[in-house]
Chain A
Amino acid sequence: MEGDSLSVIKLKDILLVTVPDDPGDNVIQELQVKVLNAMEKFGSKGLLLDISSVNVLDSFFARTISETTQMVALMGGRTIIAGMQPSVAITATELGLHLGKAQTTLDVDRALDIFSDSSS
């Protein structure tokens, strides 16, 4: 039912997804499917996840993101996670959650800089 709220935006040669503030398990699952389909369709070289509005991060979220990162890598893309809130980062650390190989940046701008640097 929340499926419509999630959209994968193709931005030049990368994919941009803004994660809603309290993503349920099904939303995250759907994110993975949509992203992988878009990777296939557009042959994008990267995925940019904007999580600046996410307030709560649970183990399922962390694991799915980590797995998605690996899947995207298998399809030839790199993943950058942008804008995690301090409180979310603290909770994640306390719970021992990590996002695997995904790179992180302070905001979307910096992530875009990294993507454009690596393409040139």
Chain B
Amino acid sequence: MYHTQSKYIASFNEWTEQKEFINFTEEDESYLKKLHPYAMNYADECVEMLYEHLLKHDATRKFLTDEKTLNRLKLTQKAYFLDLTSGDYGEDYFNGRIKIGMVHQRIGLPPQMYLSTFCYYLQTIIPKIYSYPDLGTETANKMFMALYKIICLDQELAISAYIHAVDEVITRQTEEILEMSTPVIQVWEGVVAAPIIGTLDSNRTHQFMERLLETIVATNSPVALVDITGVPQIDTATAQHLIDTINAVRLLGSQVIITGVRPAIAQTLVHLGIDLTDIITRPTMASGLKVALDRLSLRVIDMPKGMQGV
């Protein structure tokens, strides 16, 4: 899923710019690299401390259900932390970090827990960095700052992955709503009906028009009922979109009947000065269907008594 480009996911180039912005230099890289052997040394202990902490809290415990998962996570976590000091922060690192953000989002770990966990982790390793006598305070300070910078960069990627995932859900749902809200159905041989639910913006009009026209041609229908009962209000833009649709249908050689013109809609149309006189309009879908059948020279008649159910 994460190959789709959302505006929230940075490209590797943008991330490189971000590195510059945060002032993550080659010097930082070299300090992190220098820290690596020490990190190897304290990694296990810090991971243990971290998970002990995570298990103490309900918000994080529920993700650590069984021993097997726990052990597997500890291993991944260790690798993840060691990556921080790998000294290589190229495209592979970038992709890996985005993937991790995605995974956290997918399992439903809230972003604040992700951030807090990182904070706790820092709390466990900082005393370690300062505990090595051979490093000295100045080097330890530089290492700490470098570590802090790369962690910030990591967090930016993870958070953007979170937002991206949410953004994708919204995009998908918007599309689904769009699809659902403009069904075109054949109600009789030669008659299609299209109830419009919600407002008609230009985006939806285009999709609606396409669907309506294609269905008209596919079903060879000379009459199309467009029902606007579900349209909350009509403004000049919506009306223009309707008129465009009607004109397009006419070009095909079919005719639109607008149904569901409620009193409020009729009032608005007249007040706005929108002229629909050369378009057939009816208050209900049923009355519109009658007109449609009329156009097709069809008639619905009462069945004689005793013929029902045949």
Contact = CB atoms under 8 A, between A and B. Distances in A.
Contacts of A88: 251
B250 interface: yes
Interface string B214-227: 10110011100000
B213 interface: yes
Contact of A106 (B206, B210, B222, B247): B222
Main secondary structure of the interface of B (DSSP, over half): helix
A87 B214 CA distance: 8
Interface in B188-234: 206, 209-210, 213-214, 216-217, 220-222
Contacts of B214: 86
A82 B248 contact: no
B144 to A, nearest CB: 61
Contact of A110 (B209, B222, B245): B222
Given A85-B217, A106-B220, A110-B222, A92 B253 contact: no
A89 B213 contact: yes
Interface stretch (A7-15, A19-27, A34-42, A97-105): A97-105
Q: How large is the interface on B (under 10, 10 to 19, 20 to 34, 35 or more residues)?
A: 20 to 34
A83 B213 CA distance: 12
Given A106-B216, A107-B220, A84 B253 contact: yes
A36 B213 CA distance: 32
A111 B254 CA distance: 12
Interface of A: 81-90, 92-94, 98-99, 103-107, 110-111
Interface of B: 206, 209-210, 213-214, 216-217, 220-222, 244-245, 247-254
